[in-house]
């Protein structure tokens, strides 16, 4: 079946548009954002507000701890389950988010890969601390050169995953991925949001200023007081890592804010590069006041085909 999917870079207005469309087509929103899944991180990940959640139901946000493991494959399986529940209520699922790997997992799915092994991950983390990331990447080059070349020498999470899967299965992760394609259950109706670069950058900067005003520093302090590891993937997110550096005394607050904005702008560029590789995406200006009505009409027509 067709599935309305709203994509675009961070701060482009995806959530606001999804809410407006959902109100017109009895929709419920499935977040495809790999950071909004975490508890205690509402401000820095720009989770939908309580008021927005009262207007339209949201799914797959604010439901796991920052140090928990959650893969793109698990996202795809959870999203498919929730879609079935939404359809059973005679409502319309709407996927909305900027995590390209989540979108890929949903529409170019794999059969499940091995679950993460905490003992192996802890050992690999010790090796990183003792030997450095380059050493682990060299090991990955030996057992899975295809995956090692693809992820590069600095992608800690995917280097560790490649080594972990090889230890668990004896088979390179790149081989498992190539062999485990399965037929997708859904056909995306892509709506891409794109703004002129200067305006997108202004939105990014303004949004981070708002996060600071809303209490991002206190949110990060609370996470550290809960003893979440500052090196876990969630807290290495843009915005959190810069504030953590400030709280550690290594970066003045003005510099931390400037760095977070710059890193977010760079991230937005990478998102656009990823999404432009997708086929059948129609791009729209989110400033168009009639956009929600237009997209809702297109969705109704597609769903009735």
At 116 the pLDDT is: 81
Shared domain check, 203 and 260: yes
In DSSP notation, 271-299 reads HHHHHTTSSSEEEE-TT-TTHHHHHHHHH
- The CA distance from 292 to 298, in Å, is 10
For the record, the structure tokens of 278 come out as 């997708």
pLDDT tens digits, the chain, 305 residues: what are they? 889 999 999 999 999 999 999 999 999 999 999 999 999 999 999 999 999 999 999 999 999 999 998 888 889 989 999 999 999 999 999 999 999 999 998 988 665 678 888 889 889 989 998 999 999 999 999 999 999 998 888 888 889 999 999 999 888 888 887 766 666 778 999 999 999 999 999 999 999 999 999 999 999 999 999 999 998 989 999 999 999 999 999 999 999 999 999 999 999 999 999 999 998 999 999 999 999 999 999 999 988 87
Contact 6, 193 (CB under 8 A): yes
pLDDT the model gives residue 222: 98
Contact 27, 59 (CB under 8 A): no
Q: Which of 127, 146, 179 is the last residue of a domain?
A: 179
Number of folded domains in the chain?
Answer: 2
Model pLDDT for residues 107-150, shown as the tens digit of each residue: 886 656 788 888 898 899 899 989 999 999 999 999 999 999 98
pTM of the full structure: 0.82
pLDDT at 180: 61
φ/ψ (deg, to 5) at 37: -70, -20
CATH of the domain at 100: 3.40.50.300
Q: Of 130, 162, 179, which residue is a domain's last? A: 179
C-beta separation of 193 from 7 below 8 A? yes
Say if residue 199 is in the same domain as residue 89: yes
Regarding whether 131 and 275 lie in a shared domain, the answer is: no
**What is residue 223's three-state secondary structure?**
helix
Q: How far is CA 11 from the centre of its chain?
A: 13
> Of 137, 152, 179, at which residue does a domain stop?
179
Q: Are residues 138 and 31 in the same domain?
A: no
Same domain, residue pair 171 and 190: no
pLDDT of residue 114: 80
Residue 228 belongs to what domain range? 2-109+183-303
Do 234 and 153 lie in a common domain?
no
Separation between Cα atoms, residue 65 and residue 235, nearest integer Å: 11
* pLDDT at residue 111, as a whole number: 58
Clarify whether residues 225 and 154 are in a common domain.
Answer: no
- Do residue 142 and residue 91 come from a single domain? no
* 264 and 174 share one domain: no
* Alpha carbons 191 and 96: distance in angstroms, whole number: 9
């Amino acid at each position: 079946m067709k599935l309305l999917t709203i994509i675009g870079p961070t701060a482009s207005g995806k959530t606001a548009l999804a809410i407006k469309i959902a109100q017109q087509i009895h929709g419920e929103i499935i977040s495809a954002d790999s950071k909004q899944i975490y508890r205690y991180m509402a401000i820095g990940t720009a989770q939908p507000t309580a008021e927005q959640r009262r207007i339209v139901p949201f799914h797959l946000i604010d439901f796991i701890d920052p140090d928990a493991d959650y893969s793109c494959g698990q996202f795809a399986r959870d999203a498919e389950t929730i879609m079935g529940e939404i359809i059973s209520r005679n409502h319309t699922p709407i996927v909305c988010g900027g995590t390209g790997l989540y979108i890929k997992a949903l529409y170019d799915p794999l059969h499940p890969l091995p679950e993460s092994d905490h003992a192996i991950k802890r050992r690999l983390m010790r090796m990183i601390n003792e030997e450095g990331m380059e050493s682990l990447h060299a090991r990955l080059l030996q057992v899975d050169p295809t995956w090692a070349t693809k992820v590069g020498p600095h992608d800690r999470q995917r280097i560790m995953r490649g080594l972990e899967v090889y230890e668990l299965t004896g088979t390179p992760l790149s081989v498992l991925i190539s062999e485990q394609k399965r037929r997708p259950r859904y056909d995306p109706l892509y709506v891409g949001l794109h703004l002129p670069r200067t305006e997108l950058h202004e939105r990014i900067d303004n949004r981070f200023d708002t996060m600071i005003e809303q209490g991002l520093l206190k949110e990060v302090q609370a996470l550290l007081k809960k003893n979440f590891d500052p090196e876990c993937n969630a807290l290495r997110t843009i915005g959190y890592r810069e504030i953590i550096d400030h709280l550690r005394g290594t970066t003045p607050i003005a510099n931390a804010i400037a760095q977070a904005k710059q890193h977010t702008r760079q991230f937005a560029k990478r998102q656009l590069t990823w999404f432009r590789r997708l086929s059948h995406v129609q791009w729209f200006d989110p400033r168009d006041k009639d956009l929600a009505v237009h997209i809702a009409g297109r969705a109704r027509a597609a769903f009735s085909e």
